[in-house]
Amino acid sequence: MSKSSYPRALLFGRWYRNDIDEHGNETVEYAQLSSDGSFEFTFITLDKKGNVIEQITELGDWGLVADIHFTLTKNELINEELYAADLNNDDNYQAYKVLSLDHQIFHYQHRLTNDEYIMRRVVDNPGHC
């Protein structure tokens, strides 16, 4: 069985995804993955009318080894207040299997729940055709 291996540098930058839940609420995630191994994830939940229900920002560390992407949440920013995450809480440690990764798409699967996510790169300066 061969394992895929992905260059860590492919994840550097800003990413975006959104999903609709069973109640019709939209969850939007913005991710900034830095070359120093730090991350900032912002999760925004919107109701059917587009009103913000909840917004949480998580700060921490991330890594990529072969086809395993992992995160460690160290802080949360809620209502402009910074809180230290409980590092004894297992929910602050996550691991994912990378299903595919290139310069535009990051497709990964949670190692415990098998939930799959697809993020798209945010391009700050689109090229001209």
Task: Tell me, yes or no, whether 95 lies in a domain.
Answer: yes
Task: Tell me, yes or no, whether 79 lies in a domain.
Answer: yes
Per-residue pLDDT of the chain (129 residues; tens, 9 = 90+): 447 899 999 999 999 999 999 999 999 999 999 999 999 999 999 999 999 999 999 999 999 999 999 999 999 998 889 999 999 999 999 999 999 999 999 999 999 999 999 999 998 776 665
> What local confidence, expressed as pLDDT, does residue 52 receive?
94
Task: Tell me, yes or no, whether 1 lies in a domain.
Answer: no
Instruction: Give the span between the Cα atoms of 66 and 114, in whole angstroms.
Output: 18
Q: Looking at residue 50, which CATH number applies to its domain? A: 2.40.128.280
Task: Tell me, yes or no, whether 128 lies in a domain.
Answer: no
| Unique residue bearing structure tokens 């959104």 | 18
Task: Tell me, yes or no, whether 2 lies in a domain.
Answer: no
Neighbours of 67 (CB within 10 A): 16
Task: Give the residue numbers spanning the domain of 31.
Answer: 8-121
Number of domains the chain is built from: 1
**pTM of this structure:** 0.88
3 state SS for 20-40: ECCCCCEEEEEEEECCCCEEE
> What local confidence, expressed as pLDDT, does residue 1 receive?
40
Task: Tell me, yes or no, whether 129 lies in a domain.
Answer: no
Instruction: Give the span between the Cα atoms of 43 and 126, in whole angstroms.
Output: 25
Instruction: Give the span between the Cα atoms of 55 and 29, in whole angstroms.
Output: 10
